[in-house]
Structure 1
Amino acid sequence: MQETIKIHKFTWTSPDGKIHNQIDHILIDRRRHSMSKQTTHRVNMEMFNLKKLNEVEGKEQYCVEISNRFAALENLKTEVDINKAWETVRENMKMSAKESLGYYEPTKHKPWFDEGCSKLLDQRKQAKLQWLQDPSELNGDNLKNIRRETSRHFRNKKAVYLKDKIDELAMNSKNKNIRYLYSGINDFKSGYQPSSNLVKDQNGDLHADSRNILNRWRNYFSQLLNIRVPRVGAVRQTEIHTAEPLIPDTSPFGVESATAKLKRYKSSANDQIPAELIQAGDEILRSKVHNLITSIWHKEKLSDQ
């Protein structure tokens, strides 16, 4: 009997074993943009679990860590180096947040999929391979039983996860946590939304090609940043005062008021210090920040970082 050519052999068998088909396997490796080794972007960004600051225990633990770390150091004075002073404040805040809050772990696509689900999935795959190699009645019954058990376990885990999410939404609504309440509701309503990389040009046409998108942004920022210089005659004469008015030093109350007005839920800058860590600090942290600002004010020099 002539052997079937490999390109004509089936590559997929349905779970019931009645349907055979050939599937073209297409490898997709562009789901996420590749990163150039020459990039200057900060890839490993430390994101702290700031949700713990909303809990009384988490906030108290963070304040205790801050107090203990600053208590072991000398008081910052206006004579010390500004760069060293800011580095001390920054590192103590980051280490205190790391010990008390921990890092933020992004949620998976299926949070209910745990280690038990993974083991059942592996057992189902092994049973499927065993049945394909030896399609006997015993192996077929074993595959059906494992598939039935796996499906039941998945449904139960998903039901428990949905119940916990609903209870979490009810608790946020009861505690007036409007931000997390609407965020959880939007997760249920929106579902999966594929990301799109489209840009409109000056005529309103959409471009999806990476080269056209780069050209569009290049032209946009070129027009935005290259401002036409007005004529010399059109510039109005303004009075320049060389004497600077006497402004008093910043008071601790002013630092506390400015800290309270910082916007929350914003991405941190290069120092990786979000506003929540400064606002959650105790009196010792505010005193250190006030001393640092006073030193900067007197020396008229900012930190290099």
Structure 2
Amino acid sequence: MGDFNAKIGPDNTGYEQVMGTHALGEMSENGESFVDLCALNNLVIGGSIFPHKQIHKSTWVSPAGTTENQIDHVCISKKFRRSLQDVRVRRGTDVASDHHLVVARLKLKLKKNWIDTSDRRAKYNVSLLKDHKIKEDFGLTLKNKFSVLQDRSEEEEDSVSNRWQKVRETLRSACQEVLGIKKYQQKEWITAETLTKIEDRKKKKAVVNNSRTRAAKAKAQEEYAEAYKVVKRNIRKDKRDYVDGLAAEAEQAAYNGNMKQLYDITKRLSGKFSKPERPVKEKQGKSITEIEQQMNRWAEHFEELLNRPAPLNPPDIDPANEDLPINCDRPTRDEIRKAITMMKNRKAAGPDDIPAEALKVDLDASVEMLFPLFEKICGRRSDSGRLERGIPY
């Protein structure tokens, strides 16, 4: 790897299979080495194939704005040459560099793999519940929806499944309105203020590209450099505050004895890591490196493990003399409240898409929604005669 600074130029004599005639500048010595490297590895230089304006070819501009060169290239294998639709420079992209972004457009013909998105689970942004105001809004919205549900339930008699569907839709609609779907971003620690500064820097980058005179471009370049410094300063501050906040949470978790939260925070601070591969060994203890031999060893292991002979003297275990004392009474409101309180946060929601944090915001409303549902379930069980016989449903 290295900084080649290769200029290939429009003359492709002898290199017709490697490059086109639409490159910028004149071929340099490093350009000849680069073209030879592409010819040796059956590569095609995409930036020399498609005709564009000069401003859409130059990838580097000198600080004075007087020199422009095409020294950043996109190469593709000859096998996929027809998949390459276009290669050009995007001058408006803010990458905080004196190089412009080079973008290649590809079109691959692949086999269609239809994905059914109808049953995809929704993940709500429950982290917003840390804000006291949003938590109050969610509780108020849930109470209003529950009052509507209660009025409808008094007017019409519902089955257990219909009642559950209404409770589920009430909770999901409240989550959708107040919390919304969780959006994933690469760096969650960047604040909204910094994102605004980044947008401002992007606009100043567009002013630099659209400047017509040298004086206007120099002034715009100074403003862009100042905006770049402000963004870097804000990003460093956000990252420092984020790490300090995680460290404080880890310290509090260690003080409270919450080892799970402590280990989760430690993983987030340490970053991504890959687990080392555990070696597969033969019966004699020698490590196996080849994949086929490892698969054979696994097959041999499970064949021995799952095909053992029956024991010669099987144990004689007598059946239990009495049934276990299982409480099959209807659950009370206190039991429902205790069950909701014991649910763990930051866990994936089940098929109902209802996170535990949403049920804990207003325990009274959640208990009052679920209690009639459990009464219906237990009433149906009682009608079937299972409770009288002490058999759990």
Q: Distance in 2 between matches of 1:290 and 1:200?
A: 50
Measured against aligned partners, the alpha-carbon deviations of 1:98-125 in whole angstroms (never above 9, x if no partner) come to 2233333333546634432222223334
Matches of 2:105 and 2:289, distance apart in 1? 24
Q: Report the 3-state secondary structure (helix = DSSP H, G, I; strand = E; otherwise coil) of the residue aligned with 2:330.
A: coil
Give how far 1:19 is off: 7.5
**1:73 deviation in Å?**
2.4
In structure 1, what is the equivalent of residue 79 of structure 2?
Answer: none
| 1:4 equivalenced with 2:11 (yes/no) | yes
Aligned partner (choices 370, 373, 382) of residue 289 of structure 1: 370
Query: Which letter maps to 2:73?
Result: D
- Scaled by the length of structure 2, the TM-score of the pair is 0.52
| d(CA) in 1 for partners of 2:288, 2:117 | 30
Please show how residues 94-243 of structure 1 align to structure 2 within 5 Å.
Answer: 94-109=172-187, 112-113=194-195, 114-127=198-211, 138-139=213-214, 141-163=215-237, 166=240, 178=252, 202=280, 231=310, 234=314, 237=317, 239=319
Residues 248-301 of structure 1 deviation map (CA, whole Å, 9 limit, x = unaligned): 221211111111111111111221111111111331321221332343344359
Whole-Å separation in 1 of the counterparts to 2:242 and 2:162: 44
1:87 and 2:165 are equivalent in the alignment? yes
Are 1:50 and 2:126 matched, yes or no?
yes
Contact 1:198 1:206 (8 Å CA) reproduced: no
Q: 1:108 to 1:229 in 2, by over 3 A?
A: same
Percent identity between the aligned chains? 15
Give the secondary structure class of the aligned counterpart of 1:266: coil
1:14 aligns with one of 47, 60, 64:
60
Report how many residues are paired.
272
Query: Using a 3 Å threshold, how does the CA distance of structure 1 residues 74 and 43 change in structure 2: closer, same or farther?
Result: closer
Q: Which has the higher contact order (CA 8 A, sep 6+)?
A: 1
- Tell me which amino acid in the other structure corresponds to 2:164: W
- Matched position secondary structure for 1:103: coil
Among residues 50, 66, 71, which one is paired with 2:147 in the alignment? Answer: 71
> What's the CA shift string for 1:42-73, capped at 9, x where partnerless?
89643322223223322222121111111112
Give, in whole Å, the separation in 1 of the partners of 2:277 and 2:112.
22
Q: Is residue 52–residue 101 contact of structure 1 (8 Å, CA) maintained in 2?
A: yes
Decide which moves more: 274-283 or 12-21.
Answer: 12-21
Partner of 1:23: 72
Query: Which one has a larger percent strand, Structure 1 or Structure 2?
Result: 2
Structure 1 residues 61 and 243: CA distance shift in structure 2, 3 A: same
Query: Aligned Cα RMSD in Å?
Result: 4.9
Give ranges in structure 2 of 5+ residues lacking alignment. 1-9, 13-20, 26-56, 77-103, 254-260, 282-286, 385-393
- TM-score, length basis structure 1: 0.64
CA shift for structure 1 position 21: 5.0
Match among 327, 332, 336 for residue 251 of structure 1: 332
Over alpha carbons, which structure has the higher Rg? 2
Could you say if the C-alpha distance between residues 230 and 184 of structure 1 is closer, same or farther in structure 2, counting changes exceeding 3 Å?
closer
Shift in CA distance, 246/173, structure 1 to aligned 2, threshold 3 Å:
closer
